[in-house]
A and B are shown apart, each in its own frame.
Chain A
Amino acid sequence: MTGVELRDVSFRYPTSAGNVLKSVTLQCRPGQITWLYGPFGAGASTVLLLAAGLAPRHTGGTMTGAVSVLGHPLDAAGLSPLLGQIGFVTATPHLQMSGIAATVWEEVAFAPANLGWPLARIEQAVEDAMTALGVAHLAGREPDTLSGGELQRTVIASMAVLEPAVWLLDEPTTALDAAGQTDAYRMFRRAARDGATVVVASEQADALADVVDRLIVLRDGEVVLDGDPMSLLAGDDIWEGGPGSTSVAGLCRDASRHVDSPRLAMPYPVTIAHALERWG
């Protein structure tokens, strides 16, 4: 079964000049972290909104083609079969707090409580999620008093608490310090290992290169590359038709334009470890 599937999907927002997605077909599989990568306007965030059932339902706009999540078509039949199965961390986490929780603990417990979980289960799940994201010490704080990084951790915990089958993550670690990023990606990895479909839209090539299983590159609303992350990031196509690779691959590629050396040949080193091995 496919986690998230788009078949020949074209979509435009009410205010966009043309289609922001053009005949996109892609599949994100359970057990994998799939990275949607493309520069501004490429359509990665829009794919997440469609998969979450928020577009076109809440955004407006027009869509053709078919979107399905966990085998359920997201059509007029509605999202009810998927209730509690999809977690979404948006690129504006401060706008997705409930706004009615008095404490961070209540914020993280908000979705499970609304799904009617028994209290004991909620307590355990909230504690686990808060611990995993390093916000357990903030349990009693008013959400309004959190720093940007603490807030982003709390939003991730609020989603992780449901242990959803599909994780949709739009730039989920922009406000996190290095330790927080590590915690977050460790958690996404654990979810994938447990069978979840994890989809991340991000511009952070250096952070994602060695934590994802699959890379889908978008450009101007179209899928231009789809495959193994390391192979794609080590090549030239991702620069010529897409958003570029990691800073290490970029360093090697730029240097190769100035001097002809086997040390700079493709496949380019993608990570720091690759580079130290090749140039050390």
Chain B
Amino acid sequence: MTAVLTFVSVRFGYLRGAPPVLEDLSFQIHPGEGAALLGPNGVGKTTVARLAMAIRSPQHGAVTTVGRPTRALGPEDLADAVGYVFQHPEMQMIERTVAAELGFGPRRMGWPQERIDKRVGAVLRELGLAAVASTHPYDLPVGHRRLVALGAALMVEPSLLILDEPTAGLDREARKTVHRVVRGQREEGTAVLAVTHDTEFAVEALERGLVLDSGSLVADGPLADLLARHRATGLSLPGPALIAHRLGWPTRSLRTEDVTVALVERCRQEGPSIS
């Protein structure tokens, strides 16, 4: 299967003379795959996202996004096939209403209005934002703005979604929405690369973990194994998954839904008399 995103021996630094942020970074992401990009603050996670979106170009090595080598491209050249949610969604919002914000990209790409309206409606419903369609994005709580940014990223039915901290500051309902939407996108074949510190989101919506440190990957593997073993990054499993892991409950996955099933099963086996 052709990779949706490929980094080959990528080196990148922002400042001349200073050591580069990324030294020798190589990885691939395939259709439908969900990869969490993990690592401590300041290690270059957002830089990887920017390189993938052709906001920056590697100084050595190559980045290929949806089959297009990014060296001579800008983000606008990928906008028809890649959705990107910035770490600070304010920095990607231009329009005066939520609906117009979602339509911005497709309008620039010349979609007919009817097609835009139809897709905007569908995305607003999927994200539970229909009630705020005519609200100014800046009148929404900060967390809600992040959902709007996600909606804008979904408009083109992208082959690759790049998400930078997509659940930061979200309330429980909104977090569940993001989990569901990201899983749904992956089922349709969209590849997802998500920068995140939220291991609950990672376990609920993704399955692969890439751990970045000192300019390259120090770990790459199934998230569940990685979070259970990888003490060095200071990461740990989310509460329910950690409990299942520590107590050795057999679970289908470490998603809370499956941990709940395991807990219910244990309590059934013990019967009502044990306390």
Contacts and interface: CB of A to CB of B under 8 A. Distances in A.
Given A147-B41, A203-B143, A263-B274, A244 B260 contact: no
Contacts of A279: 243, 247, 263, 266
Interface in B201-240: 234-236, 238-240
Contact of A174 (B169, B171, B256): B169
A92 B243 contact: no
B240 A251 contact: yes
A178 B88 CA distance: 20
Contact of A243 (B88, B164, B172, B197): B172
B104 to A, nearest CB: 21
Contacts of B144: 40
Given A174-B168, A175-B41, A263-B267, A40 B15 contact: no
B234 A179 contact: yes
A91 B142 contact: yes
A272 to B, nearest CB: 5
A92 B90 contact: yes
Contacts of A275: 239, 243
A146 B143 CA distance: 22
B174 interface: yes
Contacts, number: 147
Given A148-B46, A180-B41, A263-B274, A250 B169 contact: no
B17 interface: no
A127 to B, nearest CB: 19
Interface in A73-100: 91-92, 94-95
Interface string B140-177: 01111000000000000000000011001111111000
A39 to B, nearest CB: 4
A252 B238 CA distance: 15
B31 to A, nearest CB: 28
A68 interface: no
A50 to B, nearest CB: 16
B112 interface: no
A120 interface: no
A10 interface: no
Nearest to B249: A279
Contact of B239 (A148, A206, A260): A206
Interface string A165-180: 0000001001111111
B62 interface: no
Contacts of B270: 261, 263
A39 B172 contact: yes
Contacts of A176: 41, 197
B243 A255 contact: no
Contacts of A45: 141-142
Given A150-B41, A251-B239, A272-B242, A91 B169 contact: yes
Contact of B240 (A13, A243, A248, A271): A248
Contacts of A251: 239-240, 243, 256, 259-260, 263
A58 B165 CA distance: 29
Given A92-B90, A251-B243, A263-B274, A145 B15 contact: yes
Nearest to A13: B139
A101 B47 CA distance: 23
Contact of A171 (B15, B40, B169, B275): B169
A148 to B, nearest CB: 5
B165 A174 contact: yes
B168 A175 contact: yes
A40 B136 contact: no
Contacts of B267: 255, 259, 261, 263-264
A25 interface: no
Given A147-B46, A203-B172, A205-B172, 18 more contacts: A39-B172, A40-B171, A92-B90, A145-B14, A146-B42, A147-B41, A147-B45, A149-B42, A153-B41, A177-B39, A177-B40, A247-B240, A252-B263, A254-B260, A255-B264, A255-B267, A262-B274, A276-B247
Interface of A: 13, 15-16, 39-41, 45, 91-92, 94-95, 138, 145-150, 153, 171, 174-180, 203, 205-206, 243-244, 246-248, 250-252, 254-255, 258-264, 271-272, 275-276, 279-280
8 contacts: A39-B172, A45-B142, A92-B90, A174-B168, A175-B87, A177-B39, A250-B256, A258-B264
